[in-house]
Amino acid sequence: MMRTMRNTVVAFALAGALIVGLGGCGGDDDGGGAAEGGGDSDAAVVIENFEFTLQPVAAGEDFTVDNRDSATHTVTADDGAFDIEVGGDSTAAGSAPAQAGEYAIHCEIHPRMTGTLVVE
């Protein structure tokens, strides 16, 4: 009887571990991560889970920043070319520099958030 109970407990523990492990293998409907694009948004910059997802923007054109976090963030060019603040769960507009190139960016509030915005 003791062995049967122990085997049952072990079986439930293994089943639970398998369910938890497979839960992390769920599909990613947007087809990409930070390097590939922002999923369902038309925004050039998507902020989610304290990470930037970036799409190229046209030189001199306006672009949208979609902040999906509840925290306020900034999209700040390291060289000072632009600085956009966007409140939690909201969007903001910014203007791309007139000069094409790659612009290193960061969040002034959360300095570990970094990326490169491509201006074409």
Question: How far, in Å, CA of 82 to CA of 97, rounded?
Answer: 7
pLDDT at 3 over 90: no
Whole-model pTM: value is 0.67
CA-closest candidate to residue 85, choices 60, 105, 56: 105
pLDDT at 35 over 50: no
Where do the structural domains in the chain lie, given as residue ranges? Answer: 45-119
pLDDT at 30 over 80: no
CA-closest candidate to residue 75, choices 87, 85, 66: 85
Cβ(41)–Cβ(54) under 8 Å? no
Residue 42 is predicted with a pLDDT of: 86
Residue for token pair 């293998």: 25
Higher confidence at residue 31 or residue 47?
47
Residues with Cβ within 8 Å of residue 70, at least 6 apart in sequence: 88, 89
pLDDT at 18 over 60: no
Query: Considering the domain 45-119, what is its CATH architecture?
Result: Sandwich (2.60)
Higher confidence at residue 19 or residue 51?
51
- Which of the residue ranges 38-42, 46-50, 105-109 would you say has the lowest mean pLDDT? 38-42
Quick: pLDDT tens for 60-103. 999 999 999 999 999 999 999 999 999 999 999 999 999 999 99
Reduce the DSSP state of residue 82 to 3 states and report it.
coil
Cβ(31)–Cβ(24) under 8 Å? no
Output the six-digit token pair for 49.
């889970």
